[in-house]
Chain A
Amino acid sequence: DIQMTQSPSALSASVGDKVTITCRASQSVSMWLAWYQQKPGNAPKLLITKASTLDGGVPSRFSGSGSGTEFTLTITSLQPEDFATYYCQQYSSSSVTFGGGTKVEIE
């Protein structure tokens, strides 16, 4: 299975900060990578597909980049509703795998 490693596992930030989360794959997944946001008690919500395509209705302060084995999710000007856990997911292989998650907390 392709292993997905996210870093950091947690971070503290303030409203208005720029936040960058990294996701590394153990082998190339090309552009077949998605990002999800999950708030406590809720199901994950799709943010980004194909590494950099924003899903409908997702604010433009979210962006994704990368290809192959290294990807980033960037949130510019963090908003109160952005405090959540973020997961990357590769869907390149027959066995889909998720990163371990990055919890974005209020500083």
Chain B
Amino acid sequence: EVQLVESGGGLVQPGGSLRLSCEASGFSFSLYWMNWVRQPPGKGLAWISRINSDGSTTQYADSVQGRFTISRDNAKNRLYLEAKSLSNDDTAVYFCVRGGMSVRSWFDPWGNGTLVTVSS
């Protein structure tokens, strides 16, 4: 069974940092683009970052460019998101999502998400 499990969320103060992790199983992780999508409480979905299969190409939404860093460890089947200079606007559930073997692909499956709360 294809599975994605996020961890690392929690309460962080404004200006602080956090590292999210996503453990993948049930598929050949090293072959796929991977994404992070977030959803503020009660609001819609927003793609924030993706990384190609070998980690050599990364892309970011304008809202997180320069503050967030996506990375992966194919030997450990893990995806990461380093988030810095956090503000209240970054409060959201963060989903780890598999893309395709090429960049132009739908997102499936999704992890259950990890909640990041930015508050003093």
Q: Could you tell me the dominant secondary structure of chain A's interface residues?
A: loop
B103 touches A94 (CB 8 A): yes
Query: Could you list which residues of chain B lie within 8 angstroms of chain A, going by C-beta atoms?
Result: 35, 44-47, 50, 59, 61-62, 95, 103-113
User: Per-residue 0/1 for A23-60: is the Cβ within 8 Å of any B Cβ (1 yes, 0 no)?
Assistant: 00000000010101010001111100100000100000
List 30 A-B residue pairs with CB atoms under 8 Å apart, sorted by A's residue number.
A32-B104, A34-B107, A36-B45, A42-B112, A43-B95, A43-B110, A43-B112, A44-B45, A44-B95, A44-B107, A45-B110, A46-B108, A46-B109, A49-B106, A55-B108, A89-B106, A89-B107, A91-B104, A91-B106, A92-B104, A94-B103, A95-B47, A96-B47, A96-B107, A98-B44, A98-B45, A98-B46, A98-B47, A100-B44, A101-B45
Residue of A with least CB distance to B93: A43
Interface contacts (Cβ under 8 Å), in number, total 53
Interface residue A87 (Cβ < 8 Å from any Cβ of B): yes
Q: B residues within 8 A CB of A96?
A: 35, 47, 50, 107
**Interface size class of chain A, counting residues whose CB lies under 8 Å from the partner chain:** 20 to 34
Residues of A within 8 A of B44 (CB): 87, 98-101
